[in-house]
Amino acid sequence: MKKIPIGVIDVDFGGMNVLYSLKQEFPYEDFIYLNDIKNLPYEGKEHQIILKYIKKNVEYLLSLGIKALIIVSDTIIEYGSEYLESLDIPVISLVQSIIDYVNLNYENKNMILCTKDYILKANLYQKNIKYGHLSSASSNKLDNIIENNKIKTMKAFNASSDIFKQFQNRDFDVFIYTTPWIELVRVEILEFLKVKDFIKVSDIIASNLGKLEIEFYKKGQGKLLVLSTIEKEEFVKMAPWFKLKYKYMNVKDLIEAENEQNRTIQKDNQGI
């Protein structure tokens, strides 16, 4: 009996570490992860163009017969929320998952929110989180550190110092971040920030997946298929910290994908 996979969609590499938690929590499930490096950056393009990318990418995953969709990019949610709500399969939203978790566990607490500049400007989180006091910090420098594989280096510690030194005399109840791979620089951040709790986005999403009313498999080795819009060699070079075993497929022509390509991936998916 062919397994029905779970889809995970991203824009760049920011949500890839979520796959670690998903694979650990659901070892018998098949996952298909898709990111869209070719069309970056989304920010700065017209809304309708970004929405076109989102729809084509999601429809591509849907054509592979996924039973649930996990959105690990707040950029996708910012521009495609109405479309995503119209889908006929369960959808887990990175944004709503974080908001619900924080409101449930830290309502009216002293919080610090760390995310990309344009996400801060979009006000996706601030308007929905119930906080006592909320401070904001840009994650752009840390994202750059991870993108350039400078984790655990002096550059990583210096970037953390630059971002958080303004908060050195303050205590926070919880540190909230919205790009999941920020977990990779947790040690560097906590060197310069006084905070009681550091949420783990990947675990939050894995927990929400377990609450869905879908069939979960009890046996058989789960597989991971990675779809991206760049060559595998470039993908590996850009994400050297990603150590899960996976099958890779370049879908650089995703937006104009032909039916034959869809059939090829459907066939490959049966054996991932």
CA distance 116 to 138: 5
Domain ranges in the chain are 6-90+212-269, 96-204
Residue-wise pLDDT tens for the chain (272 aa)?
579 999 999 998 888 889 889 999 999 999 999 998 888 888 888 999 999 999 999 999 999 999 999 999 999 999 999 999 999 999 999 999 999 999 999 999 999 999 999 999 999 999 999 999 999 999 999 999 998 889 989 999 999 999 999 998 999 999 999 999 999 999 999 999 999 999 999 999 999 999 999 999 999 889 999 999 888 998 888 888 888 899 999 887 654 554 344 445 455 555 55
Domain formed by 6-90+212-269, architecture: 3-Layer(aba) Sandwich (3.40)
CATH level 3 topology of 96-204: Rossmann fold (3.40.50)
- Identical fold, 6-90+212-269 and 96-204: yes
The model carries a pTM of 0.90
Give 124-133 contacts, CB < 8 A, sequence gap 24+. Answer: 124/74, 124/77, 124/78, 124/95, 124/178, 125/95, 125/98, 125/99, 125/176, 125/178, 128/99, 128/103, 129/99, 129/102, 129/103, 129/176, 130/103, 131/106, 131/107, 132/108
